Amino acid sequence: MGNDLHFNRERFQRRKNNSVKSSIVLVVLLLVLIGAWIYLSKTAKGKDPQTTETKTNSNMKTVTDFFLTGKNGQQISLAEYKGKVLLIVNTATGCGFTPQYDELEAMYKRLKDKGFEILDIPCNQFGNQTPGTDAEITEFCQLKFGTDFPQFKKSDVNGENELPLYTWLKSQKGFEGFDADNKLTPILEKMFDEKAPGWRETADIKWNFTKFLINRNGEVVARFEPTHPLDKVEAAVTALL
């Protein structure tokens, strides 16, 4: 009798834990879809930044030729990262993919001593999911996820005001599709098809947490969409170290 009671309690606890996990997954899914719907609804009414043609600056050959603006307004040459493997990510604080900060920070801790850096560029272009100031964004990331990798000024990655760095990145690696195994992919594709026809043919950034992998020579070797598993991203990074 006692063993049966203990077994029933364990089975109830497992069901409760599974229910909590399912609820978390559902919340993440809804956040991504709501943000995508808001973003696509706005861009469909006016000029869609996703359809902006990629401009190439022939004088820029590697990532070390570019500058980024720090959170305090100072210009930072990416030549400071010469010889390192880089993962450049456009991030958001209120997106369904925001929990990727946890995995990115874990990856950074494991690999930074081997010559790896993550360059975090917050962006508010996708569903207005990064509304805070640079100071608020940094505080959020450090308190909630303990991030320690370099974070730069909030910037545009598409459109007329996009960073020159992103103009170059997109010219090196265009959009090749969302990950086929991610359950969000068919839903995202359907919404993009309805709201932004031709989106597959543009090189522009589609959503938060798109990642560009740079080798030690400053060359773009891979692009990962936010639906791409982080363990596969880390495997690609590790292969370059």
Residue 139 is predicted with a pLDDT of 95
- Per DSSP, 151 falls in state B
Catalytic site residue 123?
no
pLDDT digits (tens, 9 = 90+) for 102-157: 999 999 999 999 999 999 999 999 988 999 999 999 999 999 999 999 999 999 99
Tokens found for residue 95: 């997106």
What angle, rounded to 10 degrees, do the helices at 100-111 and 230-240 form? 20
Nearest to 78 by CA among 135, 137, 122, 119: 119
**78 three-state secondary structure:** helix
Average pLDDT over residues 201-210: 96
Report phi then psi at 162, rounded to 5: -65, 150
Q: Which helix (H) or strand (E) holds 168?
A: helix 164-172
Region of poorest pLDDT, from 125-129, 208-212, 235-239: 125-129
Q: Give dist(CA 236, CA 122) in Å, integer.
A: 23
What are the residue ranges of helices labelled H in 71-154?
100-111, 134-145
Q: Catalytic residue, from 32, 68, 86, 95: name it.
A: 95
Instruction: Among 14-18, 43-47, 63-67, 123-127, name the one with the lowest average pLDDT.
Output: 43-47
Question: Which of 38-47, 49-58, 66-75 shows the lowest mean pLDDT across its residues?
Answer: 49-58
Q: Would you list the domain boundaries of the chain?
A: 2-240
pLDDT band at 195 (very low <50, low <70, confident <90, very high): confident
Q: Which fold has domain 2-240?
A: Glutaredoxin (3.40.30)
